[in-house]
Structure 1
């Protein structure tokens, strides 16, 4: 049996997952949804929902985002808007692609300069 790879996550990553889980749990409770109902709507298992709500660091990010969307947790939208806005997401994607076009195609370490002064 293959060994499970141990990952070291930064404190920021751990806290961000914890915050997302708390937001999803609170929104689910506000909507009076059970874990089982949310899991069924997201086509996942109740155990995965529990893991996300506890700030778990494993699993598919797409499913976690879907859980957030279903219960109404805003992820990528401007503050003070009530509903997700696909136009805003398209705008942010376009903005990111424009920035990407200005960046180099690949990242390389700089060459070491040869010190030939004897």
Structure 2
């Protein structure tokens, strides 16, 4: 295969709800950082990212890695799920129990047979 003629990666289009939610989360992280009187550089260093990536995160760029977003949120005190680690672990365990009750794989439904003669 000729890799030099590969098409450019397509741009992913996010839905309106997703875009707005990411923007709100970025603003909440910026608010938490400022309430703690933390500079962008200090938060970026604590998260382990560049200041530019933090700026993208706070602007609501959906392409910033989710782990980075969660780490920044945790550092500045933005609760995404449960505020207590024990409660979060319990929620994780309950969700795993629910998943265990469902089929391991999801398949497309089979074509229905039209037996109307």
Shorter-chain TM-score above 0.5: yes
CA distance in 2, matches of 1:55, 1:108: 34
Give the secondary structure class of the aligned counterpart of 2:9.
coil
CA distance in 2, matches of 1:92, 1:11: 28
CA distance in 1, matches of 2:113, 2:76: 58
2:5 equivalent to 1:5:
no
* Residue-by-residue CA offset, 1:77-100 (whole Å, 9 max, x unaligned): 1xxxxxx31111111101111110
Report which stretch shifted further, 61-70 or 3-12.
3-12
CA distance in 1, matches of 2:73, 2:112: 49
CA apart distance, 1:111: 1.0
CA apart distance, 1:116: 4.3
Gaps of at least 5 residues in structure 1 are 78-83
Match of 1:60 in 2: 65
CA apart distance, 1:105: 1.0
CA apart distance, 1:5: 2.2
Which of structure 1's runs of 4+ aligned residues deviate more than 2 A? 113-118
1:1-118 paired onto structure 2 within 5 Å: 3-77=8-82, 84-118=83-117
CA apart distance, 1:110: 1.4
Gaps of at least 5 residues in structure 2 are none
Aligned pairs, number: 112
Instruction: With the length of structure 1 as denominator, give the TM-score of the two structures.
Output: 0.88
* Residue-by-residue CA offset, 1:6-31 (whole Å, 9 max, x unaligned): 11111111111011001000110111
Give the secondary structure class of the aligned counterpart of 1:109.
coil
* Residue-by-residue CA offset, 1:36-73 (whole Å, 9 max, x unaligned): 01000111100111001001111211011000011111
